Amino acid sequence: MKEIVLTAVGGPENFSLHERPSPAPGSGELRIRNVAVGVNFIDIYQRQGLYPISIPCVLGQEGAGVVEEAGEGAAFKPGDRVAYLSGVGAYAEETIVDASRAALIPDGVAFDIAAGSFLKGLTAEMLVKQIFPLRAGQIALVTAAAGGVGTLLTQWAAHVGAEVIAIVGGTEKIAAAKANGAAHVIDRKSAPDTASEVRALTRGRGADVVYDSVGAATFESSLDSLAARGMMVTYGNASGPVPPMSPLELARRGSLFLTRPTLFHYATPDRLGAMAADVFGNILSGVLRPVIAATFPLADVAAAHHQLETGTTLGSIILKP
């Protein structure tokens, strides 16, 4: 089988296509033939060394495919259609996955949609239902609102009745954010003082929660956009990691709350099944409408990374083994 190996930390030129024998699953594991593989910012963070990994490594956090072989005790059988979280290893024709990290794909959900929305949909579920259980009438600020997670997060937040203020990077993304249910859209390229814009839209009050995946470039303005006792959820570093800050800054800005979650602390084996059912159920009902922005052959993973890094993507990027 073919796989993409990262041979050194750095740029996408360090990806290399390799062949090796198909792996065999151990106890509680699955060998999955990938039909589609998701590309995520965490892959870029690992490639660049922001999130340390052992090199050489096969990157890839999520995929969708068919179970080819099930190890002893794995609660799936050959032929099952599954989506999975892998941590690493998805950039390949076949991947070994712990069965506790997989979920059945229901009829009516295509492999491409499952691969492009599994990790991102689980992240949106974590943000809206677990970290800050969003309620109707609350104000939620979403950065990168037209990206892979941002698209689903905006749709889910609007569905529960929140007033969503979407931050996008470019006028071409405004229509997409509005179509996803945002009540207001701010283009940070033409309105760099987004905190003032948020204050104006909320009559000086600010947002109850900020879901920020951009990181360094938006962290300060996101804090300044919050209402007193609001929650800052920083869950990504697309523009670089957030610099250190004193906890006194949270008090000065209104006794704010700050959290930096990672999905793998929330999508634990005991929770993953229910979270996946919620995501897929919302896809089937039309609450979530994933967008596959671009599809690349597995061998063109460098081009996929380049497109994601440019910030021009409206939706998700997938690879096709």
Q: Residue 222 contacts by C-beta under 8 Å, 6 or more apart in sequence?
A: 141, 143, 195, 210, 212, 232, 234
Distance between CA atoms of 123 and 23, rounded to whole angstroms?
29
Dihedral-angle region of residue 130 (phi above 0 means left; psi in -120 to 50 means alpha; beta otherwise): alpha
Sign of CA dihedral 308, 126, 50, 39: negative
Measured between alpha carbons, how far is residue 258 from residues 217, 251, 277 in Å?
Answer: 17, 11, 28
Query: Which of 273, 271, 318 is CA-nearest to residue 297?
Result: 318
What does the DSSP assignment read for 250-293? Answer: HHHTTS-EEE---GGGTS-HHHHHHHHHHHHHHHHHTS----EE
Residue 279: φ, ψ to 5°: -65, -50
Domains and CATH numbers, the chain: 2-118+267-320 (3.90.180.10), 136-259 (3.40.50.720)
| pTM, entire model | 0.95
Q: From first to last of its 321 residues, what are the pLDDT tens digits of the chain?
A: 999 999 999 999 999 999 999 999 999 999 999 999 999 999 999 999 999 999 999 999 999 999 999 999 999 999 999 999 998 999 999 999 999 999 999 999 999 999 999 999 999 999 999 999 999 999 999 999 999 999 999 999 999 999 999 999 989 899 999 999 999 999 988 888 999 999 999 999 999 999 999 999 999 999 999 999 999 999 999 888 999 999 999 999 999 999 999 999 999 999 999 999 999 999 999 999 999 999 999 999 999 999 999 888 889 999 999
Distance (Å, rounded) from C-alpha 85 to C-alpha 285? 23
- The answer to whether the CB of 257 falls within 8 A of the CB of 231 is yes
Q: What angle do CA 292, 296, 302 make, to 5 degrees?
A: 120
User: Is the bond into 56 cis (omega within 30 degrees of 0)?
Assistant: yes
Residue linked to tokens 């523009």? 239
Give yes or no for a contact between 65 and 36, defined as CB atoms under 8 angstroms apart: yes
CB 220 within 8 A of CB 243: no
